[in-house]
Amino acid sequence: MTTQLTLIKGDITNQSVDAIVNAANSSLMGGGGVDGAIHRKGGAAILDACKEIRRTQWRGGLPTGKAVLTTAGALPAQAVIHTVGPIYKQDRERAPSLLRACVSSSLTLAHTSNLRTIAFPAISTGVYGYPMREAATLMRDESQQYIDTHPEAFDEIRFVLFDDRALQIFQDVWS
SS (H, E, C) 12-56: HHHCCCCEEEEEECCCCCCCCHHHHHHHHHHCHHHHHHHHHHHHH
**pLDDT of 24-52, one tens digit each?**
999 999 988 899 999 999 999 999 999 99
Instruction: Please give the C-alpha separations between residue 50 and each of 40, 59, 84, 166, 168, in angstroms, as whole numbers.
Output: 14, 11, 13, 29, 33
| Catalytic status, residue 35 | yes
2: confidence class by pLDDT, cuts 50, 70, 90: confident
DSSP state of 162: S
pTM over 0.85: yes
Number of domains in the chain: 1
The answer to whether 85 touches 138, Cβ cutoff 8 Å, is no
**How many CA atoms, within 13 angstroms, populate the side-chain half-sphere of residue 11?**
8
Main-chain dihedrals φ then ψ at residue 4, nearest 5 degrees: -90, 125
- The sheet carrying 19-24 orders its strands as 4-9, 156-161, 117-120, 19-24, 79-84, 67-71
DSSP state of 80: E
Could you tell me the residue range of the domain that residue 146 belongs to?
A: 4-174
The residue among 65, 74, 86 whose CA lies nearest residue 47 is 74
- Burial class from Cβ neighbours inside 10 Å (0-12, 13-18, 19+) for residue 105 reads middle
Q: What is the CATH number of the domain that holds 95?
A: 3.40.220.10
Instruction: Please give the C-alpha separations between residue 52 and each of 29, 48, 56, 70, in angstroms, as whole numbers.
Output: 11, 6, 6, 10
Which residues are 23's β-sheet partners? 83
Q: Which of 11, 18, 35, 141 is catalytic?
A: 35
**pLDDT of 57-110, one tens digit each?**
999 999 999 999 999 999 999 999 999 999 999 988 999 999 999 999 999 999
**pLDDT of 19-28, one tens digit each?**
999 999 999 9
